[in-house]
């Protein structure tokens, strides 16, 4: 993402990184890594969001969403993931293409449209990349999951979901990993090298940075 990341993208990121936990404090570095922006950009934006009453910033500890900030994030996440689902399941778009177009449409979709779209799609619970879709009442309690990087060497894992990031979604499509696929962590290459995964027939390599944003079933 570029330095021109919107306020709502920051709110969405804080909610996603918190796993829906209102008390979980998210650091500036976590947000910067997730959005691929500089820490100074994060500090500047959080100051604006705090002034607007949408976040609470505790110096040296992190940031949490206020109730207005959480509602804004949930509304945008709900809209985005339903539009993604429509693109992937009804239009035949790749997950990355569906995500890209949802980014351009989700801010302008009103509640009537989003609710009608949810009904048309038969009330899906998860987005095409495995993330929970808030319902019409903005209920949102995602499962607590580990990241791929947290898996142990030799452990066999099933991929549950990918975080909402265009570059990551394009990356997993390029290396050929899909939701629901099962892999064994064969090894980690030295000097912070990639994870080597095998399914018994094929081997692939996943960078450790990408592994921070790929979630596995517990």
* Same structural domain, 138 and 154: no
Q: What are 87's two structure tokens?
A: 């693109």
- Sign of the CA dihedral running 103, 124, 26, 160: negative
pLDDT at 3: 40
Query: Does residue 88 lie within any of the structural domains?
Result: yes
Number of domains into which the chain is organized: 3
Residues 116 and 82 in one domain: yes
Please state at what angle helix 39-51 crosses helix 7-18, rounded to 10 degrees: 100
How do residues 172-217 score in pLDDT, each as one tens digit?
999 989 999 999 999 999 988 899 999 999 999 999 999 999 999 8
Listing DSSP states for 1-18 in one string gives: --TT--HHHHHHHHHHHH
Cα torsion 100, 101, 102, 103: sign: positive
Same domain for 138 and 150?
A: no
90: Cβ contacts below 8 Å, ≥ 6 apart = 121
CB-facing half-sphere around the CA of 111: CA atoms within 13 A: 9
Q: Is the pLDDT of residue 144 over 90?
A: no
Query: Which pLDDT does position 1 carry in this prediction?
Result: 36
Please tell me the predicted confidence (pLDDT) of residue 5. 65
Please indicate, yes or no, if residue 86 is contained in any of the structural domains: yes
- Residue 159 near residue 149 (C-beta atoms within 8 A): no
For residues 113 and 53, membership in a common domain is answered with no
Task: Give the residue among 14, 159, 164 at the shortest CA–CA distance from 96.
Answer: 164
The string of pLDDT tens digits covering residues 14-24 is: 998 887 777 88
Condensed to tens digits (0 to 9), the pLDDT of residues 104-129 reads 888 889 999 999 999 999 999 999 99
Query: Could you report the per-residue pLDDT of 36-93, keeping only the tens digit for each?
Result: 889 999 999 999 999 999 999 998 889 999 999 999 899 999 999 999 999 999 999 9
Is 2 inside any structural domain?
A: no
- Out of 33, 65, 97, a domain closes at 65
**Domain CATH number, residue 27:** 1.10.10.10
Mean residue pLDDT of the chain comes to 91
Residue 75's Cα: distance from chain center in Å? 15
Domain that holds residue 133: 74-142
């Amino acid at each position: 993402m570029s330095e021109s990341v919107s306020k709502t993208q920051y709110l969405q990121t804080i909610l996603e990184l918190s796993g829906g936990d209102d008390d979980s404090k998210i650091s500036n570095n976590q947000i910067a890594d997730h959005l691929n922006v500089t820490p100074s950009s994060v500090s500047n934006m959080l100051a604006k969001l705090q002034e607007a009453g949408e976040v609470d910033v505790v110096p040296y500890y992190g940031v949490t969403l206020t109730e207005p900030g959480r509602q804004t994030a949930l509304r945008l996440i709900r809209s985005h993931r339903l539009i993604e689902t429509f693109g992937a399941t009804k239009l035949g778009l790749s997950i990355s293409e569906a995500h890209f177009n949802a980014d351009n449409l989700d801010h302008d979709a009103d509640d009537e449209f989003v609710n009608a779209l949810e009904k048309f799609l038969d009330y899906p619970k998860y987005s095409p990349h495995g993330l929970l879709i808030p319902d019409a009442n903005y209920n949102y309690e995602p499962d607590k999951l580990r990241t791929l990087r947290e898996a142990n060497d030799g452990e066999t894992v099933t991929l549950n979901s990918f975080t909402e990031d265009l570059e990551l979604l394009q990356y997993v499509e390029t290396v050929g990993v899909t939701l629901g696929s099962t892999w064994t962590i064969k090894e980690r290459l030295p000097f912070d090298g990639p994870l080597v995964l095998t399914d018994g027939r094929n081997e692939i390599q996943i960078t450790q940075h990408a592994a921070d944003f790929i979630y596995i079933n517990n």
